């Protein structure tokens, strides 16, 4: 048994070496992992544990806690304090490295694939003041027109469709859109609602969990936030790891949809990113725009903000820094700033003249 004492650590080291190799050869990573191995993993998960009704992360937590308790119990059976400590440290290290191995195998190598914007021949760049204002005007116009189909008044839209219908709709649109964009759409991924308030308290609104192959979103989100958030986590489920690119795929899928709810929700999210950028660059122009904004659109944004304030995060700063560290450790140089890349990617998409990329 001595030969197997450090098996977990060996697997973790091998996984890290493989990740380094994958980063050196993104073309091969794209071909052999992202478009071959990962879709098979995706389908295997979807045909098995994903069918369970509750978030499988609960089961994962139970298993991890059970294994940890077992290690402590086995350690207590050893003779002498040094032997107990050695066994416990070795066991926990092995277990942690096994988790790292499966994180990378089940999803993590997608971080080393060819970036989405390169595969779509896009060249996102920092928007000039004129370009940003032009984009804001265009998005605002689209929002105003689409909203007239969704509501006949300017009161905030508080309720849309049941979550089960929304998840099925987003998945259907995603599976149809990804092949058009040149990506793999195999699988039937789930994005489940998580216990109300928990994710918000952690400073996030959604998460993809590779160990269960599921995405989770905050159940207490405003109904107009849910379509984009579901699409974002589902983009992760299909192997799009970069946060800005997951936002972008979500926007493209919703924009191309014939469903007005999806169109409105993704354009509203883009609009909010654009407004945040404008408020940092030109506060005066931002204030002027707020005054002239479509009343219905404005009321929807206010309703979303008020809903968010109902459950303030407990660890907002810690969550942001830890997420930033995690993303950078996976090769995402922009860290959490990658979320805000949507305006630049959307502009690059709209201006692209490549065949099949016009919206």
Residues 6+ positions from 194 with CB-CB distance below 8 Å: 55, 57, 216, 217, 218, 219
Half-sphere exposure at residue 161, Cβ-oriented, CA atoms within 13 angstroms: 14
Would you state the pLDDT for residue 146? 97
Please give the Cα distance from 262 to 256 (Å, whole number): 9
Q: What would the two tokens of residue 40 be?
A: 């098979």
pLDDT 10s digits, 279-314: 999 999 999 999 999 999 999 999 999 999 998 888
Would you state the pLDDT for residue 164? 95
> Helix (H, G, I), strand (E, B), or coil: what is residue 19?
helix
Would you state the pLDDT for residue 299? 97
The mean pLDDT of 17-44, rounded to a whole number, is 97
Q: What is the DSSP letter of 217?
A: E
Measured torsion, CA atoms of residues 232, 233, 235, 237, in degrees rounded to the nearest 10 = 180
Whether the pLDDT of residue 52 is over 50: the answer is yes
Please give the Cα distance from 302 to 168 (Å, whole number): 28
Residue with tokens 């294994």: 67
Q: What's the pLDDT band for 162 if we cut at 50, 70, 90?
A: very high
Q: What would the two tokens of residue 51 be?
A: 């069918």
Would you state the pLDDT for residue 325? 65
Whether the pLDDT of residue 327 is over 70: the answer is no
Give the H/E segment covering residue 206.
Answer: strand 206-209
Q: What's the pLDDT band for 354 if we cut at 50, 70, 90?
A: very low
pLDDT 10s digits, 82-121: 888 999 999 999 999 999 999 999 999 999 999 999 999 9
Q: What's the pLDDT band for 355 if we cut at 50, 70, 90?
A: very low
Measured torsion, CA atoms of residues 25, 108, 91, 73, in degrees rounded to the nearest 10 = -170
C-alpha closest to that of 170 among 108, 233, 109, 119: 233
Please give the Cα distance from 201 to 304 (Å, whole number): 17
Q: How many CB atoms lie within 10 A of CB 269?
A: 23
Higher pLDDT pick, 140 / 354: 140
Whether the pLDDT of residue 195 is over 70: the answer is yes
DSSP H helices, 1-37, are 7-24, 26-28
The mean pLDDT of 46-63, rounded to a whole number, is 93
Higher pLDDT pick, 69 / 330: 69
Instruction: Provide the β-strand partners of residue 212.
Output: none
Would you state the pLDDT for residue 357? 39
> Helix (H, G, I), strand (E, B), or coil: what is residue 278?
helix
Would you state the pLDDT for residue 352? 82
Torsion sign over Cα 280, 282, 283, 286: negative
DSSP H helices, 211-294, are 226-237, 243-256, 260-281, 283-292
Q: What is the average pLDDT score of the chain?
A: 91
The mean pLDDT of 156-173, rounded to a whole number, is 97
Q: What would the two tokens of residue 6 be?
A: 């450090």
pLDDT 10s digits, 257-287: 999 999 999 999 999 999 999 999 999 999 9
Higher pLDDT pick, 314 / 23: 23
C-alpha closest to that of 218 among 198, 233, 203: 198
Would you state the pLDDT for residue 170? 98
Would you state the pLDDT for residue 43? 96
Whether the pLDDT of residue 350 is over 60: the answer is yes
Whether the pLDDT of residue 3 is over 60: the answer is no
Residues 6+ positions from 333 with CB-CB distance below 8 Å: none
């Amino acid at each position: 048994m001595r030969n197997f004492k450090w098996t977990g650590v060996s697997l973790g080291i091998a996984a890290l070496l493989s990740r380094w190799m994958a980063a050196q050869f993104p073309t091969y990573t794209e071909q052999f992992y992202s478009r071959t191995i990962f879709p098979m993993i995706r389908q295997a998960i979807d045909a098995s544990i994903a069918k369970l009704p509750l978030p499988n992360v609960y089961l994962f937590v139970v298993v991890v806690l059970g294994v940890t308790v077992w290690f402590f119990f086995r350690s207590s059976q050893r003779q002498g304090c040094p032997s107990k400590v050695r066994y416990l440290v070795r066991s926990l290290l092995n277990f942690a490295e096994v988790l790292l191995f499966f994180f990378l195998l089940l999803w993590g190598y997608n971080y080393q694939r060819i970036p989405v914007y390169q595969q779509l021949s896009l060249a996102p760049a920092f928007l000039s003041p004129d370009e940003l204002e032009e984009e804001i005007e265009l998005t605002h116009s689209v929002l105003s027109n689409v909203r007239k189909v969704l509501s006949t008044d300017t009161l905030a839209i508080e309720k849309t469709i049941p979550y089960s219908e929304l998840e099925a709709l987003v998945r259907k649109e995603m599976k149809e859109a990804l092949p058009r964009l040149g990506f793999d759409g195999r699988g039937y991924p789930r994005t489940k609602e998580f216990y109300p308030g928990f994710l918000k308290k952690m400073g996030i609104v959604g998460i993809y969990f590779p160990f269960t192959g599921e995405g989770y979103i905050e159940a207490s989100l405003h109904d107009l936030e849910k379509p984009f958030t579901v699409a974002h986590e589902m983009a992760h489920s299909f192997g799009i790891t970069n946060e800005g690119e997951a936002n972008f795929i979500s926007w493209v899928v919703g924009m191309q949809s014939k469903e007005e709810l999806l169109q409105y929700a993704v354009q509203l999210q883009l609009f909010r990113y654009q407004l945040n950028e404008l408020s940092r660059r030109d506060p005066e122009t931002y204030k002027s725009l707020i005054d002239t904004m479509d009343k219905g659109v404005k009321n929807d944004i206010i309703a979303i903000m008020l809903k968010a304030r109902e459950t303030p995060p407990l660890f907002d700063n810690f969550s942001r820094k830890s997420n930033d560290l995690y993303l950078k450790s996976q090769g995402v140089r922009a860290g959490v700033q990658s979320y805000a890349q949507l305006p630049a990617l959307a502009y690059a998409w709209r201006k692209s003249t490549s065949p099949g990329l016009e919206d």
